[in-house]
Chain A
Amino acid sequence: QVELQESGPGLVKPSETLSLNCAVSGYSISSGFYWGWIRQPPGKGLEWIGSIDYSGNPHYNPSLKSRVTISLDTSQNQFSLKLTSVTAADTAVYYCASHAGNTFGPFDYWGQGTLVTVSS
């Protein structure tokens, strides 16, 4: 069973970079599967941020593409999210998740989520 756990600062200042990690247990991220980030502003719906395959090839939401970087760290069996130039609109619960079916399928396993607040 795959388990995911997000970590990172809960408070980021406007214009700075949001950085989160997702530690994966129960599976080696370099062996397969595809990994993603989703966010949910307070009281709102889900927004896909981006995903990455086990070879390190990323795909990004066009609406965020200029500010997002997703990468793998196989030595730590984790993947990461960086979002630059944040504003209050980036305040959200950030989830990491795995795509089902060893392809870019739907998201079957999710982390518990971490709230990131953008505020000075």
Chain B
Amino acid sequence: DIQMTQSPSSLSASVGDKVTITCRASQDISGLVAWYQQKPGKVPKLLIYTTSNLLSGVPSRFRGSGSGTDFTLTISSLQPEDVATYYCQKYNSVPWTFGQGTKVEIK
């Protein structure tokens, strides 16, 4: 099975900071990676699919990038409402594995 290794597990940043979360697959996943945001006590929300495509309504400060085995979620200017845990997920093949999650907090 292809593993998804997400880092860091948590981070603390100031409002306005640029935040970067990475996800590394153990094999090439053909760009079929998605990113989710899960706010405390809430349901996960799909933000980005196929590496870099933002869902309608997702703020433009969120950006996905990468290729092959290495993928990145960037928040260009962290806002208080971005406090959440973020997960990557691969969907090129079964099993559709999630990363371990990155908890983002405000410093």
Contacts and interface: CB of A to CB of B under 8 A. Distances in A.
B91 A106 contact: yes
Contacts of B1: 62
Contacts of B46: 100, 106-108
Contacts, number: 57
A50 to B, nearest CB: 9
Given A45-B101, A46-B87, A46-B101, A61 B95 contact: yes
Given A51-B96, A105-B49, A45 B87 contact: yes
A100 B97 contact: no
> How extensive is the interface on chain A, given as a class?
20 to 34
Nearest to B49: A106
What's the dominant secondary structure at chain B's contact region? loop
Contacts of A108: 46, 55
28 contacts: A36-B96, A45-B100, A46-B36, A46-B38, A46-B44, A46-B89, A46-B98, A48-B95, A48-B96, A48-B97, A51-B96, A59-B94, A60-B94, A61-B95, A62-B95, A95-B44, A100-B46, A100-B49, A105-B49, A106-B89, A106-B91, A107-B34, A107-B44, A107-B46, A108-B55, A110-B44, A110-B45, A113-B43
